[in-house]
Amino acid sequence: MTTLSLARVEPQLARRAAVRIRDLGEQIYFGRTPSYGPDRAGRLAFVGYVVGSVVAWSLATLLVTGVLAAVLR
């Protein structure tokens, strides 16, 4: 079984990946919530946005936890 070794990761590659992850997090966190109309389609679209956000944040949390577990192992 292979494990993640930080000694083999190039510093520039790791820094570039960290910047991309930070930028993505900022876009998600500071992004505006879409506004939808009061009709049924608007409410359904808003519910889809909320459910999608919950799923995305859950997956991101699992990803970060997995990476930290592999690094700190």
Top pLDDT among 63 and 15 is at 63
Within-domain flag for 1? no
Within-domain flag for 58? yes
User: For position 7, what pLDDT does the model report?
Assistant: 55
- Domain extent, residue 48, equals 6-71
For the entire predicted model, the pTM comes to 0.47
Domain count, the chain: 1
The residue length of the chain stands at: 73
User: For position 5, what pLDDT does the model report?
Assistant: 59
pLDDT of residue 53 exceeding 60, the answer is: yes
The mean of the pLDDT values for the chain is 79
31-59 CB burial, b ≥16 within 10 A, e <16: eeeeeeeeeeeeeeeeeeeeeeeeeeeee
